[in-house]
């Protein structure tokens, strides 16, 4: 009898990662729309300034800016960018936990003493190698969650590209270490791919996991 190639854990992982991906895409879409709205409002304000309908920027006798009629819009853009980064970091936390929930259930390593290394070892015994990028994702998650210099340095050692341009750990001392993170679409895509590649597929034998509903 030929069995249909289906692994319930592979299905669970794909579904969980898909939820995170769709949530991220929806949030990014909403923020793009917000940016477009603010840009349109600022363009309209510029038109009114050019037409003399509202007062333009004013300067003091030294040429320093006293009033910028578009200042509020600049703050709006900054707030959108800050929100975007917070959402991206939150989604990376969700991504790691989506992977962790599935593989911990699959390997039956569900206690607090079963750390990432133990899970990775158990997966390797099932012929599922864990990408180093999943470990880097875990480091990112720990930095965002615990907000300590120690966690920051562990991530910096492996992925300095995840920090804002010009950041130096021994030079800059922010109030919030998590604020040093800058995540691009390309960097997040690497993490999404790594999580999927570090879990079960429908090619893995379901008999190896002993799940009752498999």
Domain range annotation of the chain: 8-34+81-206
202: confidence class by pLDDT, cuts 50, 70, 90: confident
Residue 92 confidence (pLDDT): 98
Helical spans, DSSP H, in the chain: 8-50, 71-107, 116-125, 132-146, 149-158, 185-197
Phi and psi at 112, nearest 5°, equal -65, -25
pTM score: 0.88
- pLDDT tens-place string over residues 44-64: 999 999 999 989 888 888 888
Residues near 210 by Cβ (< 8 Å), separated by ≥ 6?
none
Residue 7 confidence (pLDDT): 85
CA-CA distances (angstroms) from residue 141 to 10, 135, 155, 192?
A: 23, 10, 10, 14
CA-CA distances (angstroms) from residue 144 to 94, 140, 151?
A: 12, 6, 9
């Amino acid at each position: 009898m030929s069995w249909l190639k289906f692994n319930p854990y592979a299905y669970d992982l794909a579904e969980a990662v898909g939820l995170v991906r769709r949530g991220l895409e929806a949030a990014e879409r909403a923020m793009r729309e917000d940016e477009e709205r603010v840009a349109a409002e600022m363009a309209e304000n510029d038109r009114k300034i050019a037409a003399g309908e509202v007062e333009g920027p004013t300067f003091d006798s030294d040429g320093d800016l006293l009033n910028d009629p578009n200042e509020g819009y600049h703050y709006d853009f900054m707030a959108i960018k800050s929100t975007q980064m917070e959402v991206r970091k939150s989604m990376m936390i969700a991504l790691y936990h989506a992977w962790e929930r599935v593989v911990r259930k699959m390997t039956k390593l569900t206690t607090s003493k079963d750390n990432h290394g133990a899970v990775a070892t158990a997966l390797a015994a099932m012929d599922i190698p864990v990408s180093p990028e999943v470990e880097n994702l875990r480091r990112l998650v720990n930095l965002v969650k615990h907000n300590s210099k120690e966690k920051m340095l562990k991530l910096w050692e492996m992925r300095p590209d995840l920090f804002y341009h010009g950041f130096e750990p021994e030079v800059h001392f922010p109030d919030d270490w998590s604020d040093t993170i800058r995540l691009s679409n390309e960097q997040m895509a690497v993490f999404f791919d790594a999580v999927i590649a570090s879990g079960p597929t429908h090619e893995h034998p379901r008999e190896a996991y002993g799940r009752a509903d498999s």
